[in-house]
Amino acid sequence: MILVTGGAGFIGANFVLDWLAQGDEPVLNLDKLTYAGNRENLASLDGDARHTFVHGDIGDSALVADLLARHQPRAVINFAAESHVDRSIHGPEAFIQTNVVGTLRLLEAVRAYWGGLNADAQAAFRFLHVSTDEVYGSLAPTDPAFTEDHVFEPNSPYSASKAASDHLVRAWHHTYGLPVLTTNCSNNYGPYHFPEKLIPLMIVNALAGKPLPIYGDGQQVRDWLYVKDHCSAIRRVLEAGRVGETYNVGGWNEKPNLDIVHTVCGLLDELRPRADGQSYSGQITYVKDRPGHDRRYAIDARKLERELGWKPAETFDTGIRKTVQWYLANPEWVAHVQSGAYRDWVQTQYAGASA
Ligand code: NAD
Ligand code: DAU
């Protein structure tokens, strides 16, 4: 079996669902159920004996040690993290606690467990750390895309905490020989994406008749990857990645934020036209920029393609259409995640944010 951490969040839940759709190897899923964790993402696995959910913290060393000893996983895939840049600006502490201290404690528990395995099991074991392109910092318009050799220049509390965790993972391999793999992926989008992030926020705000808040001039560039392509990359790296290596994951889909929002509006105009016949793009509103806002990310994923033969299955056009369709088909999921805590966050981030 495999141990997945953070498997009730956006990417983790997609990963668990895809894993069990493609095979029968059981998943032990450890998740703290922060505001971003949602058991509803895994509702289709209710009663499925291949999935065991444990409510807990990766920083709880005793709990993790007990889970490892009892379930004897052959791999750990670490998705658990605080993941939202804007929240890290309002309150960095939780990011250090989970992304740095939590990863440290998880690594230590895994190292102790791994050290007690027999030689064959030790050789087969993998610790796969899921990280982000944001550790590399920000690119100028004509810079080449990030390769795995790019310097680390994290600019936000979130990316600094992820960079720290990447360094810990690297050191645990170099110093202790723990068989680790790290993936650094670009921006994901798709089903179960929490509507604090750009694409789902724009979809739910558009449908609710609310403003579509664009930070600054909206010309910041992100490199978008459909979440299921990220999941297939992680499976491939787990299967065949070289121990100690990092792999960049991306789909060569660089787009300015404003283009993304116009694309979302265009799809909604087609699939769920506004009652007044106007375009949703009329709801676009420019608001104050994010402090320290990274201008451009772009991932060079050629190492993953060259060494492991991975390629994304979706183009941006196919992936974004599926995503908008998913949100239109799942209004209950959307309503449930917009709890009191979500409304508090929207108030904190957007009230009085006009440009
Ligand atoms: P998310 O915020 O949607 O989900 C994070 C999950 O981790 C939640 O279920 C949460 O409850 C859980 N969690 C948080 N703290 C925990 C703790 N201390 N112990 C156990 N569980 C805890 O995040 P996501 O977007 O699914 O991202 C998953 C991972 O992928 C993160 O490590 C993130 O840095 C990385 N990543 C995300 C993207 C992206 O575009 N979303 C891109 C590249 C990398
Ligand atoms: O690059 C990978 C990273 O992508 C992941 O590591 C992070 O976990 C994930 O949250 C994401 O970070 P971003 O900051 O790029 O994503 P976000 O959806 O928050 O913002 C995308 C862009 O849209 C960014 O330039 C900020 C802008 N934006 C965002 C929001 C929420 C707006 O203009 N308005 C908004 O309301």
The class that CATH gives domain 2-189+224-251+296-313 is alpha beta
The per-residue pLDDT for 353 is 75
Give the distance (Å) from ligand 2 centre to CA of residue 26: 32
- Per DSSP, what are the bridge partners of residue 131? 184
148 in active site:
no
Full pLDDT tens readout for the chain, 355 residues? 999 999 999 999 999 999 999 999 999 999 999 999 999 999 999 999 999 999 999 999 999 999 999 999 999 999 999 999 999 999 999 999 999 999 999 999 999 999 999 999 999 999 999 999 999 999 999 999 999 999 999 999 999 999 999 999 999 999 999 999 999 999 999 999 999 999 999 999 999 999 999 999 999 999 999 999 999 999 999 999 999 999 999 999 999 999 999 999 999 999 999 999 999 999 999 999 999 999 999 999 999 999 999 999 999 999 999 999 999 999 999 999 998 899 999 999 999 777 6
Give the distance (Å) from ligand 1 centre to CA of residue 11: 7
Separation of CA 94 from chain center:
17
Q: Which of 30, 57, 67, 79 to mutate to test the pocket of ligand 1 (most atoms within 8 A of CB)?
A: 79
For residue 276, the one-letter residue type is D
The per-residue pLDDT for 352 is 77
Of 31, 57, 82, 134, the catalytic one is 134
Please tell me the distance from the alpha carbon of residue 117 to that of residue 108, in angstroms, as a whole number: 15
Sorted by sequence, the CB contacts under 8 Å of residue 168 that are 6+ apart come out as: 100, 103, 104, 107
Six-digit token string for 351: 């009230």
57 in active site:
no
158 in active site:
yes
Give the distance (Å) from ligand 1 centre to CA of residue 6: 6
Which protein residues touch ligand 2 with a CB less than 6 Å away? 83-85, 132-134, 186-187, 197-198, 201, 213-215, 220, 222, 257, 290, 297
| 159 Cα nearest atom in ligand 2 | 6
Label residue 302 exposed, middle or buried (CB < 10 Å: 0-12, 13-18, 19+).
middle
Instruction: Decide whether any atom of ligand 1 lies within 6 Å of the 114 Cβ.
Output: no
| 78 Cα nearest atom in ligand 1 | 32
Instruction: Decide whether any atom of ligand 1 lies within 6 Å of the 12 Cβ.
Output: yes
CB 271 within 8 A of CB 222: no
